[in-house]
Chain A
Amino acid sequence: MLTTGPAKKVTIYVSQDHLYHGESLYAAILDFLFYRKIAGATVTRGVAGFGADHHMHTDRRAMFTENLPMKIEFVEAADKIKEILPKLHEMVGSGLIEIQDTTIVKSAGSDPKTTALIANESVPSLKRQSKAKLMRIYVGENDKWHGKPLHTALLESMRANDIAGVTVYRGILGYGANRRIHAETALHLSHDVPILLSAIDTEEKLRAYIPVLDDMLQQGLVVFSDVDIIKYTHDFEGAERRKEPRS
């Protein structure tokens, strides 16, 4: 939670059509900030501008342009900024990041809950190590988190926390701790079937993610088991291609 006193203000400039893993970059950055518990962030779209490539982006002409400048701003404590900066650096790519000292005169909100810090910059990522952990999370399809489906929120938060990969399965029948049967019925699709999320990554990464789970999961089961990684490949060329703006 932000308190009054010195803090840092970060401003990131990107282009509206820049992509990050196939998703629009500014949205990916916003998601990242959200699930890293940054106190708040604002995205504004400019009406015209130019960047390092000295190419004018404008909507002056009548045609519909999707290449307008986007500005993402947020204010946070200096140590928190330091923690997320490496990842932001990687995401922003050809955009600009600016940090300035600022002073908070009045902090927003009144929620005194401490935030779960996930320091995972030092945690090695999943490569071709032989030992890893498989994490399974069982929730209900109807479970909500801040108004959105819990399984979607979990997936997004795992992505923002750099978990190597997640798969969501929809069950057809089941029951959990409260012993209420969740079933898909014949005539209509039930919307309260069991959902299983499975993720594989290093033990440190997954354990570092538990505080976030503690916060989001009010009902459900989380288990870990040992797995051996046999093959973990990543299409780097494809990823580079996807990062480029679509023409």
Chain B
Amino acid sequence: MKLEGKAKMLRIHFGEDDKWHGKPLYRAIVEKCRELDIAGATVLRGIEGYGASTLIRRTHLLSFSHDAPVMVSVIDSEDKIQKLLSILDEMVGEGLIAVSEVEVIKYVHQGGVRSE
């Protein structure tokens, strides 16, 4: 896969507890990205935050209540991102999706490993 020069970065913000067909939404999104042959996806968990519904989300160490904010960031060419966006629209019920411009400086991998 080649990725260079101008590209788009997609960031999707939602809660860790959000589900899609019974599985964590962030996992479902990463799997969907793989299905669409998107260059890569990274899920980051925040430690505190709030969203559109102004509910404070916080990770509790002692209780197992999570629902921390999570952010999925995806970088690929504009058409790939557009393709993903049309699907995400349906998957992300409550959250924020933002697209920005990025310039790819380096995209390297030790070839060959494309295992499932």
Contacts and interface: CB of A to CB of B under 8 A. Distances in A.
Contacts, number: 100
Interface in A171-220: 171-181, 194, 196, 210, 213-214, 217-220
B115 A180 contact: yes
Contact of B104 (A172, A173, A179, A223): A223
B114 A179 contact: yes
A223 B115 contact: no
B77 to A, nearest CB: 13
A217 B42 contact: no
Contact of B106 (A171, A196, A222): A222
Interface of A is mostly: strand
Interface string B61-96: 000000000100101000000000000000000000
A176 B109 contact: yes
Contacts of A170: 44
A225 interface: yes
Interface of A: 135-136, 138, 169-181, 194, 196, 210, 213-214, 217-226
Interface of B: 1, 3, 7, 9, 26-27, 30, 33-34, 39-45, 70, 73, 75, 100-110, 112-115
